[in-house]
Every structure is written in C-alpha cells, then in structure tokens.
Amino acid sequence: MRQVIEILRLKYEHDLSIREIGRSCGLASSTVGDYLLRAEAAGLKWPLPEGVGENELEARLCAVAPPRIAETPPPPIPDWAHLHAELRRPNVTLRLLWQEYIRTDPSGLKYSRFCERYQEWRKTLEPTLRQVHVPGEKLFVDWAGQTVPIRNGADGTTQPASLFVAALGVSGKIFAEAFSDQKLPSWIGAHVHAYQFYGGVTALTVPDNTRTAVVGPCRYEPLLHRTYQEMAEHYGTVILPTRIKKPRDKAKAESAVQVAQRQILASLRDLVFFSVGELNRAIAPRLQELNAQPFQKLEGSRNQWFETLDKPKLRPLPSSPFVVATWLEATVNIDYHVVVDHHYYSVPYGLIHQRLQVRLTESTVELFHKTKRVAAHRRGFQRGQFTTLDEHRPKSHQRYLEWTPSRIIDWAGKIGPQCALVVQNVMAARPHPEQGFRSCLGIIRLAKAHGEARLEAACQRALHFGTLSYRSIESILDKRLEAQPLQGDLTCTSPAHENVRGQEYFA
C-alpha cells in the first residue's frame, strides 16, 4: 500500500504521466494505471482523507473492480511534418498545436501521448535529439570520475575523495562538493547540501543508476533505494533515473562533471590535502568563480541565468533538512522489545511476534507496523541494555497477557526447584520482569539439549557461585562442570603412606 500512496502523490501532486510514475516507483505502467482506475472508482483523491489507514485503503481499492475500457478505434495520426514546420514559427508550442488538433478531432491523442509520438517521429530526422529544459524542473546529479587523493599525515598513505556534481537544467549552475566515499550517507548528504546551495528544490532529480540511488537497475522499471525515496518525499521532488548506458539522458550532468574536473580539480592538481574539509575549502572559491564566468556563445552567466530563470521556479525548502536514516526489519519478542544494533527497544505489548520496520538515525529509533509509526525512542548505544516506555508494558486487563513472570517460574519449576529459583532471581534483577523473559526462556530451553537433570544441577551450581545468566549456565553445561563437587562438598582424604604424617601429627 506504500506504493499506492506514492502513486497517488505523484499523479495528483506532481501531475506525472503513468509511464513516469512507473519509472519512479519501479512498477509496470499497466499496474500504475490499474491502481489509478481503482482509486478513481473508489472515490479516492489526493491528499487522502484524514484517518484512512493502510487496511482501509486496501479494502476500498479491492472492493471495486476497475472500469472496463471499451474498445475504441485508433485515434487519427497528425501530420507530423506539418507540425514540425509550424514549431519553427515564433511562439508556437506543442501544446498550442495539440489544442488545435484536438478541437478538430476530440477523439484524438491525449497531450502526453501526442508529445511522445511527435518526439518519436522527430528522432527519425535527427540522430541526436537536443533536450529542451523547463526552468526549475530538473536537477542532474552524478559522481565525477576523477578523484582527489587525501593524504594521512601520520603514515603518508592516501585515500581517494570523490567529487559530487549537480547542475540545473536551464541555467546550468553547478554545485560541487567532495566526500570521503560514495556510500549512501554521502550520496544523501550531497543532495541535501545541493538543495541548500540552490535555495530550493526542482520538480525532478535525475541521477544515473548508481547503487546508492537504484537498488534494482532496469531500463524500464528501476527500483529506488528506500532511503533515497524517503529523501525525495521529504523535499517534494521526484527521482527519475536515466536509462542504463544512455549518457545523453543526463547530458547536463556529463557536461557539468567535465567542466568541474577541468576548471576546479585540474587547478588543484599540485596541492596536497590532508582532509576532505580542507579540499572543500579550496573548491568553494573556484566553484563561485566558475558559476560567475560569462558564457562563451550566450549572453550572461550561470549565476545570472539562475537568478532570472531557475530560481523563481524552484520549490521552497522544507522547514528542516532531511536526516539520513537506515531501514531495517525486526521481530517483536515476547518481552515486547525489538533488538536494534544490540540494544533493546520497547513497542506496544499487543505487537508481540509481529514483523516491524525500523528507521534508524544517529539520534532516534522509529518503529513502524504497516507504515504506521508505533514507537519512537532516543537511540541507545549501550549493548544489551533496555529502553522501555511504561505505556508499552502490559496491563492486567489486556487480552495479550499471555506471558507472565509467574507462568515462566511455574514452567521452570517443572524442571526443578533450582531452575525455578534461578529464573525468579533473573527477573528480579531487572527493572521490569519482562526484560528477563528472553534469558529465562533460553535457560529453560537448555533442557532440550542437555536434559532436565543436568540443567537442574547446573542451576544449583550457578546459584552457589552467584553466576545467574544464560551464558554462565550454558558454559557450565558445555564444560560439564555441573558434575563437579561444590566448594563446600570438597573433602581431603589422606593417602596411606609411611611418609604421610596426617593431621594428628600437628594437633
């Protein structure tokens, strides 16, 4: 259902075509069309009504069948040669020509299909079709192929720094920043800094099929990285990856990378940098100079074109920048906690045994069940510790109260009194008894592998030495220490020998 929500957002908020929506969401165009038809038949619009959850959305979409489209004769094909000639006249656009065409025959091609068919026809005339950009519409992004060595002052070794380059479609204003690697946090951080540099967001962001952007490269239905998609939703932009092995789809980015390498990196070739921050401080003035340079064959500069054309059309930045997050999955255990990076976080008790999605940032941990956030915690970095909210603990009247301390103690008592006493002490040592459930279950289940008699003896030894934990009892069983006499049971028997005097000698 998360993809259905994204389809509705792209359709009604960004007015994208079915094919563009399919490329952005990684779905077939037929699937996107089917979802839109079902949503229309169910009376769903964007934004969705308040309170409509995933289950209700699924029920409403599945309750109606998409309307059957009646077969109609193919629409009349315009005279593309005549239209091509008309476009050369001043102020004549494709939309104007389509409006004249549709008035002549209302059953003709829709505007999007009209434009697609014209571009297909035009490709037969020109080997390379020059792209026409709209102000504020597209931001092209890419990593530069050339890297910059960063020297380690301690041992003299070097590590390559990568240059991220972005360029706007109309003005061509360039943003460039160096990063220590090309991993996902650097990729997302580069976009955040680029949007801040331009002071706004374009309607479309066009990357290539780098692994940090697209986890499932495909010419027709690329699958975006979830964090990258989340960033796009935060900024209200649409990610539109280029086709595989089609560099002309992002000619602006290719050109910007070449310019940045020649006018920025080449001028730094004889300098030695000991940190990425030092490298970026050297890049900044050269980047400013590059964008202020006059065009060779056109009037003005990148900065002037940006202020006049692109900047007024950019969408405003959100109130806060996007925070890079990692998505994981975790299952809720019977102690109503999930394990994230070796730390335990509580969720509502009714979600035990459910599979949750975890959004992990540097400072927070958010847990989702079917796209609905069910818990949020400040991130804890202590391994094996618990972060528990009181409202997540079970109440006596809840029907989910399946596991209780008394039930676990009774279960351990079937093995023996020593095992029951160990389980009772383990839970008593925790701030909340439920936090000891996992350890207790692990101790009880050791009987399956080692037998109840051995486990009872191991528990007795653990109680004697005060080592009450699952790992300690498991170690006792693995090393067969439960059969060894306890310290109080040790007796010394003197061997019979003429040289051994015995204790009576020293009395």
Q: What is the pLDDT of residues 131-140, one digit of tens each?
A: 567 888 899 9
How many angstroms separate the CA atoms of 270 and 135, rounded?
38
Residue 7 makes CB contacts below 8 A (sequence gap 6+) with: 21, 25, 27, 32, 35, 36
* Least confident piece of the model among 97-101, 207-211, 271-275: 207-211
Identify the DSSP state of 87.
T
Main-chain dihedrals φ then ψ at residue 438, nearest 5 degrees? -65, -45
pLDDT at 250: 62
* Least confident piece of the model among 22-31, 164-173, 213-222: 213-222
Q: Predicted confidence band at 466 (pLDDT cuts at 50, 70, 90)?
A: confident
- pLDDT > 70 in the chain, percent: 82
- Give yes or no for residue 77 having a pLDDT over 90: no
pLDDT at 505: 46
SS3 174: strand
- Give yes or no for residue 195 having a pLDDT over 90: yes
How many angstroms separate the CA atoms of 402 and 405, rounded?
10
Q: 108-137: buried (b, 16+ CB within 10 Å) or exposed (e) per residue?
A: bbeeeebbeebeeeeeeeeeeeeeebebbb
Nearest to 365 by CA among 395, 342, 384: 342
Residue 135 makes CB contacts below 8 A (sequence gap 6+) with: 169, 170, 171, 309, 310, 312, 313
Write 446-451 long-range contacts (CB < 8 A, 24+): 446/470, 446/473, 446/474, 446/477, 447/415, 449/477, 450/477
- Give yes or no for residue 66 having a pLDDT over 60: no
Q: Please tell me the total number of residues recorded for the chain in this structure.
A: 507
Reported as half-sphere exposure (CB side, CA atoms, 13 A), residue 373 has a value of: 8
- Give yes or no for residue 257 having a pLDDT over 70: yes
Chain centre distance of CA 242: 20
- Give yes or no for residue 507 having a pLDDT over 50: no
Burial of 21 (0-12, 13-18, 19+ CB in 10 A): buried
- Give yes or no for residue 67 having a pLDDT over 60: no
- Give yes or no for residue 142 having a pLDDT over 50: yes
- State the first-to-last Cα distance of the chain, in angstroms, to the nearest integer: 88
Burial of 74 (0-12, 13-18, 19+ CB in 10 A): exposed
Mean pLDDT of 347-362: 87
How many angstroms separate the CA atoms of 148 and 161, rounded?
5
Q: Which residue has the tokens 């997302």?
A: 188
Nearest to 96 by CA among 115, 79, 113: 115
Give the model confidence (pLDDT) of 300-338 as tens digits.
Answer: 899 998 998 899 999 999 998 888 777 888 999 877 889
pLDDT at 167: 92
Residue 136 makes CB contacts below 8 A (sequence gap 6+) with: 168, 170, 200, 202, 203, 309, 310, 311, 312, 313, 314, 315
Q: Would the pTM of this model clear 0.95, i.e. be above it?
A: no
